[in-house]
Amino acid sequence: MKRPIGVIDSGVGGLTVARELMRQLPKEAFLYLGDTQRCPYGPRSEQEVRAFTWQMVNYLLRKNIKMLIVACNTATAYTLQELQENLDIPVIGVIEPGARAAIKVSQNKRIGVIGTEGTIQSKAYPRALQSIDENIRINDLACPPFVPMVEDGMLSGPEAEGIVARTLQPLKNMNHIDTLILGCTHYPLIKGLVQNEMGNHIQVISSGEETAREASLILSYQGLLNQSEEDPVHEFYTTGNMEKFRSVANSWFDQPVQVLKRIRLDHVQSSAI
């Protein structure tokens, strides 16, 4: 089936998931929409996040997508069940895949989670982890500076290192975790900084690989895989600064990313249709 797969995020962070999706599903076309104008979602209310998420979803539904990937952890925490109940296409979030990936590698069942304020307050990761193994112990930490840092393209250098060190200090004082979940899809863009600060004895997990694996399984099971031999054409949209989006995207992808256009979502339906 040649219909595209939609990927939504609060900004550029979901590109980390999109890249893994493209690697594992090379025949599929993807439509990526990043709401960089209203990023970050973490400090926003649940009502705002739900409204903004539905605006992105309804925009992509007009383009006849066959699957939706919610690549924003905050949006996943607040809207995934609602989206799954209201849409007639498969909808995948990033929290449960991330939890499964962490449990696979943890040796002592002590797992740390870093994310936005909204994701951490929602307790979505503790629920997901303990629904798989009730003996998992979790230390979580909100990291508000990280998303603005990534959106501004500050991915390395002394200033970025300082921000990461100061932000992660409380987590470093929580002893014995052996695995750390990057509970925001922006964070893999600074994974090296996080790994250096936490130490190589900590397994740092992002959800992209597991999310892509789940998408592949669902598409195959439902007979939705694209069997065409034509090269797929990907489309990228943003609500904010196109050049800033393109700069971060090009630093993450192996080939130049063409951002088709900046779009407005304020006129799009902000609830289920």
Catalytic residues: 72, 184
What's at 239, amino acid-wise?
T
73 in a known ligand binding site: yes
176 in a known ligand binding site: no
Q: Which residues pair with 30 in a beta bridge?
A: 5
- Among 28, 23, 19, residue whose Cα is nearest residue 219: 28
10 in a known ligand binding site: yes
Other C-beta atoms closer than 10 Å to the C-beta of 151 total 23
41 in a known ligand binding site: yes
CB burial string 43-54: b at 16+ within 10 A, e below = ebeeeebbbbbb
74 in a known ligand binding site: yes
186 in a known ligand binding site: yes
Handedness of CA 23, 154, 92, 231 (dihedral sign): negative
Annotated binding-site residues for substrate read 9-10, 41-42, 73-74, 185-186
Binding-site residues sit at 9-10, 41-42, 73-74, 185-186
